[in-house]
């Protein structure tokens, strides 16, 4: 990244060097060992408590959504990307109905005739079909089902451009 | 290996571990032990199975998961491309290797409303930055691209991370 900075864009607060090292360096390879945060601390030359406190601050400020596993889609259960063309005056209502399903984890409004896009991840294919069918029945609108055929990217985390 | 075959390789214990950890590991000195206790499993079982799921690709990575929207990558464009099905895998691998593409998938067309079969998610600080990146994908695809579009998100209505439902 060309820019070097120490401010996170949400809170505008200064990101301290430890916080930054954790975000930049530990998006993958969290040790699968008894005390992973102590191992990280050892690598960074700080204490385990320092690492836990810094991760807690980053989480509390919303810089990190979590520390944990990123699960590949379609690996455990059944999932799809679905799209709907929703009349503008019904969009809020339909979006809320869709978001109301526990199985829906991403729901975006996008600028297109197909203006509502959401990811559905269900325990199995039957439940996935049931959710899509229910949404169609409850809204009277078609749901376009675009399941993953193949994934090509290698997810190594994502460089953060500090402001 | 298809997604389906990987799915079948997960047993009930694997699923419970994924469900228990995908929302985040506890920020305590022994997080895997805490998960093991919650699930009534041995800590070595939890770590060993997570290690195996990492190796097979079920778990992509374990670590800090930044909130890119909050960090200023406010523009997100879903770029979508119509390329010949026989070439999609080779092209998809090239697009997926670009460092600004966070997700790259082959998905089915849904004609006539949806002619696109290759999806590449592009993030940037502004729409102009996203548009520049999309233009570089168009350059890379060249004549193989028969049409494309970029769908910008205008509102995030729900985002809870990819979750398995127990």
Q: Is the Cβ pair A71, B29 closer than 8 Å?
A: no
H or E element in which residue A119 lies: strand A116-122
Tell me the C-alpha distance between A126 and B82, whole Å: 30
Tell me the C-alpha distance between A37 and B34, whole Å: 14
Tell whether the model's pLDDT for residue B4 goes beyond 60: no
Q: Domains in chain A, ordered, with CATH?
A: 1-70 (no CATH), 78-146 (3.30.70.3460)
Helix axes A17-25, A48-60, angle to 10 degrees: 80
Tell whether the model's pLDDT for residue B164 goes beyond 90: no
Number of Cβ pairs < 8 A linking chain A and chain B: 272
Task: Give residue B34's pLDDT.
Answer: 96
Task: Give residue B72's pLDDT.
Answer: 65
Strands B59-66 and A64-71, sheet pairing: antiparallel
Question: How close, in Å, is residue A79 to chain B by CA atoms?
Answer: 9
Tell whether the model's pLDDT for residue B73 goes beyond 80: no
> What is the rounded average pLDDT of the residues B65-92?
86
Q: Sign of dihedral through CA atoms B114, B116, B119, B120?
A: negative
pLDDT tens, N- to C-terminus, chain A (163 residues): 333 344 454 555 678 899 999 998 999 999 999 999 999 999 999 999 999 999 999 999 888 989 999 887 666 578 899 999 999 999 999 999 999 998 998 899 999 999 999 999 888 899 999 999 999 999 999 999 999 998 887 665 555 555 5
Give the tens place of pLDDT for each residue, B14-59. Answer: 988 988 887 799 999 999 999 999 999 999 999 999 999 999 888 8
Same fold, B8-56 and B75-152: no
Question: Which listed CATH number (3.30.70.920, 3.30.200.20, 3.40.50.280, 3.40.50.720) goes with B75-152?
Answer: 3.30.70.920
In chain B, where the domains are located: 8-56, 75-152
* A3 touching B (Cβ < 8 Å): no
Task: Give residue A77's pLDDT.
Answer: 72
- The highest-level CATH class for domain B8-56 is mainly alpha
Tell me the C-alpha distance between A103 and A128, whole Å: 8
Tell whether the model's pLDDT for residue B103 goes beyond 80: yes
Q: Which pair of tokens denotes residue B34?
A: 């805490």
Half-sphere exposure of B55 (CA within 13 A, CB side): 8
Task: Give residue B116's pLDDT.
Answer: 98
Task: Give residue B165's pLDDT.
Answer: 43
Question: How close, in Å, is residue B149 to chain A by CA atoms?
Answer: 9
Pick among A25, A60, A75 to test the B interface (most B CBs inside 10 A): A75
Q: Which residue of A has its CA nearest to B71?
A: A9
More confident residue, A48 or B3: A48
* B112 touching A (Cβ < 8 Å): no
């Amino acid at each position: 990244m060309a820019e070097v900075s120490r401010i996170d864009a949400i809170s505008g607060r200064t990101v301290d060097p430890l916080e930054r090292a954790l975000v930049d360096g530990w998006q993958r390879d969290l040790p699968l060992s008894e005390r992973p945060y102590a191992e990280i601390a050892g690598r960074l030359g700080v204490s385990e408590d320092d690492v836990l406190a810094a991760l807690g601050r980053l989480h509390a400020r919303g810089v990190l959504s979590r520390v944990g596993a990123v699960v590949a889609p379609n690996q455990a259960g059944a999932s799809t990307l679905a799209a709907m063309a929703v009349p503008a005056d019904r969009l809020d209502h339909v979006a809320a109905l869709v978001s109301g399903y526990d199985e829906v984890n991403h729901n975006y409004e996008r600028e297109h005739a197909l203006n509502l896009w959401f990811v559905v991840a269900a325990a199995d294919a039957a439940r996935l079909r049931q959710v899509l069918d229910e949404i169609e029945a409850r809204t009277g609108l078609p749901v376009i089902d675009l399941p993953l055929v193949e994934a090509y990217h290698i997810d190594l985390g994502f460089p953060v451009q500090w402001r | 290996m298809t997604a389906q075959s990987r799915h079948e390789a997960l047993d009930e214990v694997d699923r419970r571990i994924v469900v228990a950890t995908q929302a985040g590991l506890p920020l305590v000195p022994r997080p895997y032990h805490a998960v093991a206790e919650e699930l009534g499993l041995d800590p070595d079982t939890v770590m060993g199975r997570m290690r195996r799921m990492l190796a097979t690709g079920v778990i992509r990575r374990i670590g800090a998961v930044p909130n890119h929207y909050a960090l200023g990558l406010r523009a997100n464009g879903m770029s979508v491309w119509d390329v010949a099905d026989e070439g999609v895998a080779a092209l998809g691998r090239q697009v997926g290797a670009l460092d600004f593409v966070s997700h790259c998938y082959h998905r089915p067309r849904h004609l006539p409303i949806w002619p696109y079969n290759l999806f590449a998610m592009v993030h940037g600080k502004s729409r102009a930055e996203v548009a520049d990146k999309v233009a570089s994908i168009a350059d890379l695809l060249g004549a193989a691209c028969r049409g494309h579009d970029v769908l910008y998100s205008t509102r995030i209505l729900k985002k809870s991370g990819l979750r398995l439902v127990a």
